[in-house]
Amino acid sequence: MTDNRNTAPQGLQASITAGIGTFATASCMKWLPPEDTQYWISVCTLLSPVVGYFVAKFFCSIDEPEELTKYKAWLNKDLTNQKKILKDKNVPEDVKKEVRQKYTETTLKLASANQDYSPRGIVVNDPD
């Protein structure tokens, strides 16, 4: 099963198209001379679905699932705490070595968080 998150859902696209079409049509009738109104209404009728599709696709591309956002926030919080430990002069060097390794692992998890996400949640492949 493929996950098409970048494809605009039909309901969202229809709502945006209807809103754009209504606004454009009302604008044409209000601000244009009466002799040009019919021409511009036809143009708006043809262009509003195209504009609606691209607007819906844009909204879908910036929409991120809540679980993925939380996962990234947790990873960023871990990175912040790991940086504090690495900068602390009172922490022994052997502990810092382990924290550096965890820092690298956390950075890699953050870098691949979008790839690891599926609709069922975060999929993590443990080497164990």
Contact yes or no for 44/30 (Cβ under 8 A): no
Please return the burial class of 56, using the count of CB atoms within 10 Å of its CB with bins 0-12, 13-18 and 19+.
Answer: buried
pTM of the model: 0.51
Contact yes or no for 57/17 (Cβ under 8 A): no
Please return the burial class of 126, using the count of CB atoms within 10 Å of its CB with bins 0-12, 13-18 and 19+.
Answer: exposed
Which pLDDT band holds residue 49 (cuts at 50, 70, 90)? confident
Return the higher-pLDDT residue of 101 and 21.
101
Helix (H, G, I), strand (E, B) or coil at 77: helix
Report pLDDT digits (tens) over 11-34.
777 777 788 777 777 776 777 777
Report pLDDT digits (tens) over 51-74.
888 887 787 777 777 788 888 899
**SS3 per-residue string spanning 1-56:** CCCCCCCCCHHHHHHHHHHHHHHHHHHHHHHCCHHHHHHHHHHHHHHHHHHHHHHH
